[in-house]
Amino acid sequence: MNRKTEISERVLALIKAARDGDEDSVFQWLRGCRNEIDTCDDTHDKYNALHYAAEKGHLGVLKMLLLAGADVNYRSGDRIEDEGEITFQPGHTPLILAARYSRPEAAELLLSANADPHIRSEQSWTALHAAAVGGNLAVVENLLSMKVDHSVMSYGRHFDEELGWYFFNTPMHAAAANGKSDIVACLLKHGASPLECWIDKRTPIFYAAAEELQDNEFVESLSMAYLQAHHEAGAEPCYDPNDDDQIKCLNEEAANYLRYWRENIVRGLEQSVARKANPSS
């Protein structure tokens, strides 16, 4: 069962002020005792004042809390007691929230205050995963400039009407599944592989093909990167239109598009890649 702690009214007042961006109230709170500055609320997310300020992008509040000694890497989460043993289920850092909700100035401020971009939350979700979903290119580029690993696999699952249950996998998967073509291009530029897959054996192009039914340019661009990577690896592209393991969970429209992608786009691009590799043939 969950071990619950009592949250003082004073702490709740700070958290509300931080969430609302009420700098005056935060300033007045910090004039008193600061030893509860990192205390989290009792909601499902277990966020503290810094988490909410980062999520909402309240820069003034962020600066005050950091100067007052708030832990820039404090992870939300819960301590679970089971048969006398207490384990911590880690949640998000303020940086992960700033990345997820597309707050580039907040993310930059947190990084300048020594926020660790490599911390993983539950299910190995990183700030780069969050930024890929949030879709802010500046945040992604900032994280990549700090040598954040773009191949980290997350084992979190998500349900989608098109895809059924699927894993988040790498930041590239997250960006492709959410139609963030500029993020995909940025990750490719920094060396991320379009061939990455985990236990579900789905590469990012699978999600792009299933989700971006109207954005052929995006799908074709990622397809070309996919095929070039296959060629460099000396492997044969996998585009079998009858591969039921890959398409059985899709609805009819998405499944038909994925078959079309395999039968037409991939075959055509494969020939283009082969011609570039052997221009005399």
Pair 144, 160 in one domain: no
Pair 135, 194 in one domain: no
Pair 4, 133 in one domain: yes
| Number of domains present in the structure of the chain | 2
Tokens matching residue 179: 């139609």
- Asked if 236 and 230 touch (Cβ cutoff 8 Å), the reply is yes
Confidence (pLDDT) at 275: 57
CATH number at residue 114: 1.25.40.20
- Asked if 223 and 265 touch (Cβ cutoff 8 Å), the reply is yes
Pair 116, 141 in one domain: yes
By three-state DSSP, how is residue 40 classified?
coil
Q: What is the pTM of this model?
A: 0.78
Final residue before a domain boundary, out of 93, 128, 149: 149
The mean per-residue pLDDT over the stretch 63-92 comes to 82
Pair 118, 8 in one domain: yes
The answer to whether residue 4 scores a pLDDT higher than 50 is no
The answer to whether residue 257 scores a pLDDT higher than 60 is no
Confidence (pLDDT) at 231: 62
Final residue before a domain boundary, out of 149, 181, 206: 149
- Asked if 176 and 222 touch (Cβ cutoff 8 Å), the reply is yes
Q: How confident is the model at residue 81 (pLDDT cuts 50, 70, 90)?
A: low
Pair 49, 28 in one domain: yes
The residues, any chain, with a CB within 8 Å of residue 84's CB and separated by 6 or more, are none
Pair 123, 233 in one domain: no
Q: How confident is the model at residue 237 (pLDDT cuts 50, 70, 90)?
A: very low
Pair 170, 277 in one domain: yes
Confidence (pLDDT) at 87: 62
The residues, any chain, with a CB within 8 Å of residue 10's CB and separated by 6 or more, are 29, 32, 36
Pair 105, 171 in one domain: no
Tokens matching residue 220: 């074709």
Pair 278, 171 in one domain: yes
CATH number at residue 262: 1.25.40
The answer to whether residue 99 scores a pLDDT higher than 80 is yes
How many CA within 13 A on the CB side of residue 156? 18
The mean per-residue pLDDT over the stretch 200-213 comes to 68
Q: How confident is the model at residue 242 (pLDDT cuts 50, 70, 90)?
A: very low
Pair 7, 62 in one domain: yes
Pair 35, 140 in one domain: yes
Confidence (pLDDT) at 17: 97
Domain enclosing residue 279, as ranges? 153-281
Q: Which of 138-152, 177-191, 205-219 has the highest mean pLDDT?
A: 138-152
Q: Give the chain's mean pLDDT.
A: 79
Final residue before a domain boundary, out of 83, 114, 149: 149
Which tens digits make up the pLDDT trace of 130-178?
A: 999 999 999 999 999 999 999 888 877 777 666 667 677 899 888 888 8
Which tens digits make up the pLDDT trace of 36-72?
A: 999 999 888 899 999 999 999 999 999 999 999 999 9
- Within 10 Å of residue 252's Cβ, how many Cβ atoms? 7
Confidence (pLDDT) at 32: 85
Q: In the chain, what percentage of residues exceed pLDDT 90?
A: 41
- Asked if 143 and 127 touch (Cβ cutoff 8 Å), the reply is yes
In this structure, what are the phi and psi dihedrals at residue 64, rounded to the nearest 5 degrees?
A: -65, -45
User: CA 265 to CA 102: how far, in whole Å?
Assistant: 33
Q: Which residues make beta-bridge pairs with 3?
A: none
